[in-house]
Amino acid sequence: MVAGGGAPRPAALAEVEALVATQTAEVHGLFAGLQIRPFLVAVHEGRASMPEHLQRFLHPGCAAFTLLGQRQIHLVWGEMARSGTSLRAIVTHELVHELLDQWAAPRAALMPRWFHEGLAQVVSGETYLGAREQDLLWRVGTDRLLPFADLRDGFPLDPERLQLAYAQSHSYVAWLVGRFGLAGLLAIAANVDRQTTFERALSGGTGWTSLQLVDGWVDHLRNGSGAWSRIALEQSFHVLLLAAVPLLWLALRRRNARELRAAGRLDQLARWQIEAAARARAAAQAAALDPFAGGTLAGGLPGRREGDAAVDPSGPVDPAADVDMAEDGEDVDGVEDAGDAAAAAAEAAAADRPDEEPPPTGDRHWPSPRR
């Protein structure tokens, strides 16, 4: 085994090498008396990294190919993940091509392509290109199957017809193996020569004409393959999905309604918070404009509260105010001392200016507003 185009990872090469060893021994057991000749297995990193003269052999959607008669198997690592087929099945598929070609030599070129591809899919246990018997049933009813004579020397390149060719080959060979056995089918293939085609050898070995063989396979496809059951299961699954759509719609609608209600509550809460903040700002602005509204003056002095009588600082002192303040526990000594000091200062100023009319004297008390 060798690394082909590009630079495949060493881990990928080791994995392929191990599979080639185990699957070669398994497939070899199907071909009695075969002496295996050495053959090449090349692993390419991707389609673009392959040599240009090899790219035309890689069908769209496929991840490998075998050059019959040249003892070469080419695996394209980058295409394997996209093919939908496991690495083990791909390696086994290509080994069947190579060992069947060696076993049938020198009459290997007389083996039809549909037999090669059908046997490779049956032995590997997986189909290529997503081929399914369910897809064949629709064509059976409309008589749109491909004639096997058209699949003898090669497969079509059109993707839809190529998938159909793989599906037909797999289903037909699987029916032949189930009906006549793999060993019996290979024994029939061993009778092919220049005078005896594979189809003639198949008719001679089974006792059925080619038309009877194809009709038997179509009858099996319709009634014995289980394809209809698989289609019914797929359709029932689709029906269940369709039935679940209204329930899903109702669930989504209820969920959306709950989310809308929750969003509405959040919006209302946000509006309340905005309104509360606006009221707080308005109250703060009002307090700043009216220094008496908040109960204190600038500098921490008490201001007039709502309901208090206005007091004229230059008017006479209400004796009741002193009584009230004394009853409230107010300390008015500091206020009285301040008034006496102011009166003394005024008298001193008048003495310095004898021509001016002295200000009225007398005890005046600047009342402290009630708390």
pLDDT of residue 300 exceeding 50, the answer is no
Residue 314: how many CB atoms within 10 A of its CB? 6
Degrees, nearest 5: CA angle 324-328-332: 75
Q: Which of 96-100, 259-263, 276-280, 343-347 has the lowest mean pLDDT?
A: 343-347
In a domain, 191, yes or no: yes
In a domain, 172, yes or no: yes
In a domain, 23, yes or no: yes
Long-range CB contacts (< 8 A, 24+ apart) of 10-17? Answer: 12/43, 12/77, 13/43, 15/87, 16/41, 16/43, 16/75, 16/87, 16/91, 17/41
Name which of 74, 89, 81 is nearest 122 in CA terms: 89
In a domain, 84, yes or no: yes
In a domain, 321, yes or no: no
Which residue's entry shows tokens 């990193």?
Answer: 45
Q: Structural domain tally of the chain?
A: 1
In a domain, 355, yes or no: no
In a domain, 112, yes or no: yes
Reported as a single tens digit per residue, the pLDDT across 66-125 is 999 999 999 999 998 788 889 999 999 999 999 999 999 999 999 999 999 999 999 999
pLDDT score for 243: 57
Enclosing domain of residue 186: 2-236
Q: What mean pLDDT is predicted for residues 50-55?
A: 92
What distance in Å separates the CA atoms of residue 88 and residue 91, rounded to the nearest whole number?
5
Whether the CB-CB separation of 74 and 4 falls below 8 Å is answered with yes
In a domain, 64, yes or no: yes
pLDDT of residue 189 exceeding 90, the answer is yes
pLDDT of residue 239 exceeding 80, the answer is no
User: What proportion of the chain, given as a percentage, has pLDDT over 90?
Assistant: 48
Prior bond to 313 cis, omega within 30?
Answer: no
Whether the CB-CB separation of 133 and 221 falls below 8 Å is answered with yes
- Residue 296's SS3 state is strand
Residue 27, C-beta contacts closer than 8 angstroms, at least 6 positions apart: 92, 95, 96, 99, 123
